[in-house]
Structure formats: structure tokens, C-alpha cells
Chain A
Amino acid sequence: MTEPTDAARRRRSVLRVAPPARARKLAKVPFVELADGRLQGVVSSGSDVERVYVSSVAAGSHAVNCSTNNNRPCGGLRGSLLCKHLHALADEAVLQYGVEQVARYLRIDAGDGVDSGVALLARTDARHEPGPAAVVFSRFLRHLAYLEVAPSTAPVPELHWFPATAAVR
């Protein structure tokens, strides 16, 4: 399938602007998003099923943060040493969005051969800066709340602008 030209992009009502997320395993990192000027998400704790870590990387400044949802700082994040949660977050983001979109959003010069989130983070001068963990966690809860919205039999005609399309398979 040929990519739409710029002219067709302007004229068409229906086209996929953002590629659909790619399927990935959610057990370790149930939530990843590029929003609010950050790559942010939630990483399940390896030891305690009730505990989750909230991790984020800011676009541009590349300031990182990792803490529990109760705002206790993550013990693994020390100075410029990144914790495993941030690594997991970045890797899963690359799986979900593709390396190009993550690099573009965070404004990281990815260069050739970078294909994982860990490698992407290695190309930044990441430094720790307290981040809005509570905001990210509440976005995760709102994200989960979508699953609690009951299905409906009333049509949403606006979805004709959003046809389901296959990712490459």
C-alpha cells in the first residue's frame, strides 16, 4: 500500500494519523503513554502484587522520575543510574509506539541501530527530578476505568472517521 502524498493527506477525511498501538504483553508494564510532554507509565512491582511504580521521562529535558504510587522514591534510581522500572517503561514504549515515535516525542536523537528503549535512554543525559507521580497514577486509573464503561447499542456515527486498520502482519 502506498503512503498517502501530502496533498492526499490534506484532502482525505479518513486516514490513519497515528498508527495503532502494537500488541505487547501487559503483565509487567500495564500502562505506557506519550502525554503531557512525557513518556510516562506504570510498572508492576516484581515482589508485591499490590504495589506499582510510576515512572516518567520528560520530553526535551529528559528528566526522569520513579516512585511508588504512594510517592515513595524508587530505591533503584540513584543519580544518573536508572532503575529497572525506567528501563522496562522505555522498552515497552518502543514496543507499543515504535522507536521513531518515542524518540521524536522525547526529542532524542536516536541515530541508526537504536532499537530498544534502554538504548534510547542511554543516548540522553538523564537526571533525576521529582515528577508528578500522583498525576500519572490517576491517569492510569482513568485508563483502567475505560474497561468499566458499559458497551452500548447506540451507534457512534463519528467512528466512520476511524476505520479499523491492520498493523503490518
Chain B
Amino acid sequence: MLATQLTQLDDDAPAGLAEALAVVDGVDDSLTRGLARPGEPDAAAWAALAAAVDGTPLAERTAEAVRAATTGALTEDHLAVLAGARAALLGAVHDALLDRLDTALHRSRAPWPAAPSAAPGATPALAGARAWLHELTLAGWRGADHELLSGAAGPVEATLAEPAQRRLAVLLDGLAAELRAGLPVTAATPVPTRRWADLWTRAVLLAAGAATEAAPAETVSGRLLPLGVDVHEHDTAFQAQLHALLEPAAGGPGRLVRVTVVAAKVATIVGPAGWRLLEAYPILLKALAERRAVTVTDLPAHGGDLHWVEERAVLGDPADPFATARVLLADATAPATPPLQRHPAALAEPVLVEGRVVRGDDGDPVVALDGRTIPLAVDRLPAAGPLTPALVNAATACLGLLRWDDDRWLLQPLAVRATVKRQTVEAHNGDWACGVTDPKVAKAEARAGDAVAVLRERAGRLLRR
């Protein structure tokens, strides 16, 4: 990534961005208060949302749902429409930002195939989730209490039992845990308004059946060259997402793809122990830890998401992710994001930034590129990997994901090349996928004991009685 590209990205904010976000802010404040007794500000906020989607296919249903919401007649169906309208607005923000990014980076992107998604089946698990979300919407974040939040346990358990509803289960569990940790919410408590409204929106859509949306299934074959690993986690989930470049066996331009594996966990399994939960995928973990290419044959894929199958993967030679990024990233084709997943927080575009890390105006680290700077998302360095703030501060090159949050572009490092004691060192998020390689951290791990083993023993003894 070059300074001129950064300039273009920063200086060319999409038209209407501030206005769209102002509408979202109004809605989010209303969700914070709850819709049990809607007042004047709530009516104004939701009316603004209806106005924002006026002229779209959502217009009529949104207007009706807003009327219901502000007169105390809100049903679960109305809720889905309101969440849909908010998602559409932020989806438009996503599209505008991604368009700027693609223009600045000259990145070509596959169009979204307008495939009809399967009709969602009505399951009791989804019905339970809808009922809970309805109750939560009426209470608002400020009105949620222990009893209401404990009520999430039923829908979480029911959705977790259905593989097709895993996304909703993981999301509800994460949202409920945050709301619980925030209790008691007083008037003085600063509430993460946008965040909780985002999570609410997605949960309502998934409970309405949004999980069936997918790009058409295909199979892909070719050589997979790793770029970097993005690690996600909350109390009960650990997800590793490999961003990679696929060289199709049939020839043609390289494709930017992702391979994702996710495990269920509990809060006391932290840091590198997360990798232990993914032991079912030894070839993938080895490829991550050793930065090896992988040859895949007939791997199922939906758009940019490859669905990993161990038996269809063969480990290849080491492949330097920095070299892959430098040589192949510019000409690769990026995938389209499924429409219901479009949100600024979903933007995660692999880039290579070769510049020194310095202190920005606010004291936080930024990468300097010919007088331009881009802030680093240093709160996204996983404990499951070797990247530390100190190492990032010494970086001379950074392979990462372009993100957008808090009204600005950010670079999330997935790997850095740094100069430490006049030696060039490299660290990648996936380095510890097969075990911690840093002796100091490994020792601390050993001292803390094996959480996974202890809990599995307890489960073996107590669960099947």
C-alpha cells in the first residue's frame, strides 16, 4: 500500500456518510432507552430511519414498523423490519467505503451473484431467540436486568444444538455476556451504543432466518498461499480465520479467500490454549504455524469462504506471506460480501504496508508512509499469538487488514517484520497454532496449568452420569 493510496482513502470520504451515521446514532440511542414506553426522541429517531430508506423496497414495511414501534404495538415481525432497515443503511455505508478502498488500491472484486437464498425453516430455537430479543428491545440496554439476561440461556442452548444456527448462538452468547458484565447499568455508565445496536441488529436478522444467505456453492482446487491469520474470540468461542491467496489449478487470476475454523470454549480457556480446541484440523494448524502453502482439491467454497476439509488438503513448501503479498496481492480478485453481512465492521481487506511505526498525534502507534499515517489497531493483538505492542512499535513492515471503525481507517496487524536489537525478526498471528514457540510465554502457560485438560476431565466425570 502506498502513500498516495492512503491519501485517496482518507481524503475522499463518501458523500452522505455523516448523515447516515447520524440516523444510526439516533436509532441506537432509542435502543439504549428501550421501546417499552417510546417518547418524542424515539419517534423522531425511528422516523428518520424510515425516511432514510424511503424510495427503497423497504420503505413501506419500515414506515409501518416504525408506526408500531412508536405506538407500543411492536411485534417480532416489526422488529425484523426495523433491524433490516438499520442494516441496510450501514450496508450502504459499507458499500461506499469498500468502493473507495477498491478504487484506491485498484482492487478488482467479484460481483455478488444474485442467488436466491433458501427459505429459512421455522424452528423452535429461532422462535425462542426472537421472543428474547423482543423482550430485550422493550427493556433497552438501560432496562435490562439479571432476570432478563439470564433468559438468554435457553435460546443460546437451543441454537447451539443446531449447527445451522451456530452464528446466532455465538452472537447471542457474546451479547448477553457483555450486557451482564455491564450490570448494573446506571445513568452514568457509558454504554457502547453503536456496538450493542450492531449486535442486536444482526441477532434479530439471524433469528429471522438470515443465516441461510450464502453465495452459491462451488468447489475449488489449487495452491493456497497464506497471508495472515485473524483471531476472534469471546468467552465461549475461538475463531481463526486465515486470509490466503488461491492460485486456481485451472489457471487465471489469483483469488483472495478465507479459511475459517471455529471452536466452542469457556471463559477460563484463554490465550494460546484456544488453538488446542482446533486439534481436529492438524494440516491447517501446521500450515498456519509453519507458513506453508497448501494444495487443495475440490474444496467446497461459498464466494470467498472456503470450507476446510482436512482430507482434501496436502501440505506444501514454506511460502513467505510477505512475499505473497508483495508479488501477488495487487492482481488478486477479492470476493463480494453477502448483502446481509455488509457492515463497516465486516471490512477486513488484506494489505501490505511497508513503513515505520511512529507515535501519532494522540500518542497511539501509526504507520508512517511518506508523510501520511494510518493508525494501528493495537487492541486487536491476540494473546494466542506472538504479536505484542512492543514488537509492533518496532515494525518496519506490516501485513494486515484494513478496517474501518470510529469514523476512520485502521490497520490491524496480522504479521510484522521488525528490527529488534539490530536483527530483523518476523512474527505472525498463527505462529503458535501448534504450540507456543516463545520460551517465556510457554513457561507461563505451563505454570497456569492445562485448563482444557482439567475441564475435559470434569466433563467426563460429571456430564455423563
B305 within 8 A of A: yes
Contact call A34/B459, Cβ cutoff below 8 A: no
**6 A–B pairs (Cβ distance < 8 Å), ordered by A:** A1-B389, A12-B194, A20-B383, A145-B459, A164-B382, A169-B441
- Pick from A15, A145, A160: contact of B346, CB under 8 Å: A160
Name the A residues within 8 Å of B232 (CB-CB): 156, 159-160, 162-164
Known: A12-B195, A163-B231. A151 touches B263 (CB 8 A): yes
User: Top 6 nearest A-B pairs by Cβ distance?
Assistant: A164-B382, A18-B181, A159-B232, A155-B260, A149-B264, A164-B231
B463 within 8 A of A: yes
A122 within 8 A of B: no
Contact call B195/A156, Cβ cutoff below 8 A: no
Q: Which of B41-49, B56-64, B73-81, B159-167 lies at the binding interface? A: B159-167
Contact call A149/B160, Cβ cutoff below 8 A: yes
How many chain B residues have a CB neighbour from A under 8 Å?
98
| Residues of A bordering B, CB below 8 Å | 1-2, 6, 8-18, 20-27, 30, 32-37, 44, 49-50, 52, 96, 101, 105, 139-167, 169
C-alpha gap A14/B348 in the complex (Å): 13
B327-360 near A? 1/0 per residue, CB < 8 Å: 0000000000000010111101000000000000
Contact call A146/B266, Cβ cutoff below 8 A: yes
B121 within 8 A of A: no
A164 to chain B: closest CB distance in Å?
3
Contact call A21/B405, Cβ cutoff below 8 A: no
Contact call B267/A96, Cβ cutoff below 8 A: yes
Contact call B454/A26, Cβ cutoff below 8 A: yes
Name the B residues within 8 Å of A141 (CB-CB): 462-463
Contact call A147/B382, Cβ cutoff below 8 A: no
Contact call A37/B195, Cβ cutoff below 8 A: no
B406 within 8 A of A: yes
Name the A residues within 8 Å of B441 (CB-CB): 169
C-alpha gap A49/B456 in the complex (Å): 14
B170-189 near A? 1/0 per residue, CB < 8 Å: 11001001101111000000
B28, closest chain A residue (CB): A10
C-alpha gap A13/B258 in the complex (Å): 22
B447 to chain A: closest CB distance in Å?
9
Q: Knowing that A23-B448, A26-B449 touch, tell me 14 more A-B residue pairs with CB under 8 angstroms.
A: A13-B198, A17-B182, A36-B146, A144-B455, A145-B459, A145-B463, A151-B263, A152-B262, A153-B260, A155-B305, A158-B167, A158-B170, A161-B198, A165-B381
Name the B residues within 8 Å of A8 (CB-CB): 406
A18, closest chain B residue (CB): B181
B304 to chain A: closest CB distance in Å?
10
A151 to chain B: closest CB distance in Å?
4
Name the B residues within 8 Å of A35 (CB-CB): 146, 150, 180
- Pick from B195, B305, B383: contact of A165, CB under 8 Å: B383
Name the A residues within 8 Å of B455 (CB-CB): 26, 30, 144, 147
Contact call B264/A147, Cβ cutoff below 8 A: yes
B295-327 near A? 1/0 per residue, CB < 8 Å: 000000000010111000000000000000000
Contact call A15/B381, Cβ cutoff below 8 A: no
B341, closest chain A residue (CB): A157
Contact call A164/B264, Cβ cutoff below 8 A: no
